[in-house]
A and B are shown apart, each in its own frame.
Chain A
């Protein structure tokens, strides 16, 4: 501890803005407290455009007012109307909505401002080779276990903090418009603020345990936000599914932590990094630890086979999907592996496993994405697929490339989700006006929206080109970085010489590279498909509804524009040597002090000269992306689509894809149903009711009653009897002294 403080004292960041690092999560936490307090005051008032419901104090009358409100809006306030949400919910503005819309985003903006100041300090401090660790207090001290509440600032956590607070701020601003008329408005911001606070704890924690606190905290917030509209069973179930699946992953995380602590006696990142070599290179122990950590990552970051919760998680409000289930929380697994680079670098087996699982997930999810009709489901599978790419990167020791894709993905996927939120907002508003109960998220009910929402249309195309990997948009650079890294690792380095399940590592990695290209091709197709069906072709929403389709207010499109710019130019963060359009590899150099050693250990030193192979790889990637888009444009016919209610079921493999390979059903049949029936028939009926209830519970009740009876007989109220009891007790004590 003292060494830490001393180190912090002499650290280049010691007297800079970095000393306020503790405030980063405290600000959103304060926002959570304020908004949480507001949400506990169960007071609603009708929206301002709705005089007929003024004075009603509770939700029940808000329901009644809602029906009238629709008509009033149609006549007088068409533009301001906001019956928002991915589903049909009460329109009732919370009394303190105004306060919440200031507090919620403001704390994030302040946090972001502070993060920028710390970043400037860090950039100005020059070469920073050791992390800045600030210990706030000893949290628990028992025996050999001493846990300090300490934060660690280094280049890696800095990047994550900037992404979380930056993208988080934009999404908070977007939510003001999107959630405005939800009766749970302050509660929404409370959860969102709490999420950001925990996410910052996750990336700032200086030990695995503090990281784990954040890890569990974001899981809790994710659960709360997926089930935000908990009155509908499907949403509550989705929340539970996410929570339960994540427990499997957390089990892995815990085991890994126990193993680390048992073998190294510490959980601090710096001490673990220092002591790691004692675990032994490529030993079974280090591989086990890494694989258990990866199990945790697979849960949190939705990788095979634990990805099933993420598509269902789209039941939450769209800003939640953008912030938690695309930009930040689900990338925690990638962060964890980058953070544990020292450990993974010691186990080629674990590295290749991570890469293989990531690649397979990327491919698998991309194929499902080809046939989804729900616009958010397409994006959900796309997220799983892109996370797979990130694991491909960090698995092959290309930590900078993985982090780079994490950042660009945060930009373009947040944009895509918020754009889809904008679309859903418009669709929902239109259906709300006409009182229709069509699905506002089904692409078959959309079409031709470019006429009505030109800004969203343009911005979402930028994001689509980015994710498809078309230069010069950001996704091209980050995806190319990963793919070329995989190719390079296949040629030389520790991984190419290792064997994985008896196969030469080199061959495995070449195969992964090939599958990565296939996935890139599929990505271009399904994203173009989504754009074609949503924005192009004729409109299928309905005659009456078309008049009410319009662009969302500027508070919602504003954040989209910022994300659009970032998605377009984000690639300049880390230009490859082969494309010298500016400073080369800024991000890679920035992260070098943290992950450089691990990168070299896994991949070997990388030459600076550009080879023809590299140009070939880049050319292939571009060609594949463009080919995908062209194939989609040529083969898909938006004009031939019919609205959802008229659609005929699809056949063959299409149906399999549409039903997501029946994975949920398989899990249901092979795991959940046997578990439930086993629990019910053996554990509950047999053991719990048969043995525990009848024998132990009833038995102990009988025993307790017996003892109680004896007690009450003794407890007669007679003072003399009590004195006798004391005397007998005294005799017993003296007897014990005598006959010992």
Chain B
């Protein structure tokens, strides 16, 4: 399949998955408001939303399998996009499943939440596809506006409302940076197309202050979205205040999509300016890894702990952006799969054990879980080990970190310091990940502990399928790793100028 992106109909063809998702979301909105606002209708909407995701998924797989290619243009038609889309869709399906069960528990009737989840996913897929800064902006806005609303979904909760407003205000503030960055880069290079920018920004002329300021602003804008220290401060409050499935969605999918765009822009547009952005990004990565983990150590609430943990993981992923080559991109994809499964699985356990009104979510509430719900405790242990990067018991988590470290050490500019910091930060993270395991397995179950309710089917499936997948591909990582190696952004493969990198990718 070949798409000439200058012909509108063929551009639409290259956007089939995105169109399916967004049109599906629009239709679902009609379904949601057609009749009285009841639980049953909301549930139906949720189910249909999962159906839309699967339809989109099928389209993605069809295009991926058909090895679709396209002319240069505003969107990319490459394996990197399809791989990211798959991760985004998986995260959306998981979040929707969890949301259905969660709404039941909290008696939260909101059919529109599923529509918003789909719209946010549409923005994310656009981000994954974008090869133009304007499309990046479009995607980020679509995704963010939906997320703002999602985080304040439960109108009965004052914390939810506070989170939503805070997220919105700060999001708008950071968007200013992003947009200003785009404008400056456009001013310096005369284009918003990242391939063109890449050809203009070369080693000789990158010292243009306009360009440098633009790159700096873009870093700020992206780092806000991925919640890198010190632009992370909204994240704990928002993650804590939002409904748990939405928190899981934001911690996994929103971050994944923003990262995908970040990585693609960095790999394709700014390799020529490496000398300029290398040090700031290195510092941001190091700060994020260490800061996220150290503050996570202090947390008593499971949700807040996972929020800081997700900040720390943004630090690990930033390492792949610093590396900014094919090896980094494949490590990024592999990491994203492991991280998404582990994080969403952990949030699913939080939902399974939570009580109405988001109670029973302190780490101390998990004491002695092994004695009453051994399978749930075992699954949670797998997620914690995976986030920690423990071999075998942590499944893919180990190889995820391994590939990131491998990419860091084999980069054209070896990031030895970052690799060392990554390892040290992981050791610090053992303090709280293993703390959860310790509480679950070694502490006695308090006499007044709540009886665990039966886990709803959807949540049940999410928990055990995630754990199983993590474990299985932790023993057999090679299939995923090979797929990740083949799924590098189009700019990597086509450019002969970066031959050493391509050689590294084909190892």
Contact = CB atoms under 8 A, between A and B. Distances in A.
Interface of A: 137-143, 700, 703-705, 707-708, 711-712, 714-715, 717, 719, 721-723, 725-726, 728-730, 732-734, 736-738, 740
A139 B476 contact: yes
B481 interface: yes
Interface string B212-236: 1101110110011000001101101
A708 B294 contact: yes
21 contacts: A140-B477, A141-B478, A142-B403, A704-B294, A704-B297, A704-B298, A707-B291, A708-B295, A708-B297, A708-B298, A711-B295, A711-B298, A719-B165, A725-B230, A726-B170, A726-B233, A733-B219, A733-B284, A736-B280, A737-B276, A740-B276
A729 B169 contact: no
- The binding surface of chain A is classed by DSSP as helix
Given A708-B297, A723-B169, A737 B215 contact: yes
A141 B406 CA distance: 12
A159 to B, nearest CB: 30
Give the size category of B's interface with A. 35 or more
A296 to B, nearest CB: 22
B237 interface: yes
A737 B162 CA distance: 35
B478 A705 contact: no
B294 A707 contact: yes
A700 B233 CA distance: 23
Contact of A712 (B166, B279, B297, B298): B298
A697 to B, nearest CB: 10
A252 B283 CA distance: 42
A142 B407 CA distance: 11
Most buried by B among A143, A705, A719: A719
Nearest to A138: B478
A738 B236 CA distance: 31
A722 B234 contact: yes
Contacts of A711: 291, 294-295, 298
Contacts of A143: 406, 410, 507
B79 to A, nearest CB: 18
Contacts of A728: 230
A736 B283 contact: yes
B402 interface: yes
B170 A723 contact: yes
Contacts of B410: 143
Nearest to A701: B297
Given A143-B507, A736-B283, A726 B231 contact: yes
B280 A722 contact: no
B318 to A, nearest CB: 13
Contacts of A712: 298
Contacts of B466: none
B233 A722 contact: yes
Nearest to A736: B280
A726 B169 contact: no
Given A704-B298, A719-B169, A726-B220, A737 B234 contact: no
Contact of A740 (B279, B291, B476): B279
Nearest to A717: B237
Contacts of B33: none
B213 A737 contact: yes
Contact of A705 (B217, B220, B277, B298): B298
A729 B291 CA distance: 14
Q: What are the 4 tightest A-B residue pairs by CB atom distance, in nearest-first order?
A: A708-B298, A729-B230, A736-B280, A722-B233
Given A137-B478, A726-B220, A737-B280, A142 B295 contact: no
Contact of B166 (A708, A719, A732, A738): A719
Interface in B294-309: 294-295, 297-298
Contacts of B276: 737, 740
B177 interface: yes
Given A708-B294, A723-B169, A725-B230, 4 more contacts: A142-B406, A729-B223, A734-B217, A737-B216
B420 interface: no
Contacts of A715: 233, 236-237
B152 to A, nearest CB: 14
Contacts of B224: 726
Interface string B483-507: 0000000000000000000000001
A98 to B, nearest CB: 26
A719 B215 CA distance: 26
A140 B166 CA distance: 46
A143 B410 CA distance: 10
B173 interface: yes
A299 B263 CA distance: 51
Nearest to A723: B173
B482 interface: yes
A725 B220 contact: no
Contacts of B110: none
B480 to A, nearest CB: 12
B174 interface: yes
A611 B162 CA distance: 100
A719 B402 CA distance: 38
Contacts of A738: 212
A711 B402 CA distance: 30
B280 A140 contact: no
Contact of B170 (A137, A138, A707, A722): A722
A704 B297 CA distance: 7
A452 B64 CA distance: 75
Nearest to A706: B294
A109 B482 CA distance: 38
A376 to B, nearest CB: 35
A233 B405 CA distance: 43
Nearest to A709: B298
A725 to B, nearest CB: 5
A418 B213 CA distance: 82
Interface string B464-485: 0000000000001111011000
Nearest to A710: B295
Contacts of B507: 143
Contacts of A733: 216, 219-220, 280, 284
Contacts of B481: 141
B135 to A, nearest CB: 24
A732 B219 CA distance: 11
B242 to A, nearest CB: 15
A249 B459 CA distance: 46
A734 to B, nearest CB: 5
Given A729-B230, A734-B216, A722 B166 contact: yes
A740 B277 CA distance: 10
Most buried by A among B162, B224, B231: B231
B298 A140 contact: no
A143 B327 CA distance: 11
A461 B283 CA distance: 78
Contacts of A736: 216, 279-280, 283
Interface string B165-209: 110011001100100000000000000000000000000000000
Contact of B217 (A700, A714, A730): A730
B163 to A, nearest CB: 10
Nearest to B481: A141
A534 to B, nearest CB: 46
A631 B174 CA distance: 96
Given A708-B295, A723-B170, A736-B283, A140 B478 contact: yes
Contacts of A703: 294
A726 B291 CA distance: 15
B464 to A, nearest CB: 15
Contacts of B280: 733, 736-737
Contacts of A734: 213, 216-217
A485 to B, nearest CB: 43
Contacts of A138: 478, 482
A721 B230 CA distance: 12
A138 B480 CA distance: 12
Contacts of B478: 137-141
Nearest to A712: B298
Nearest to A716: B233
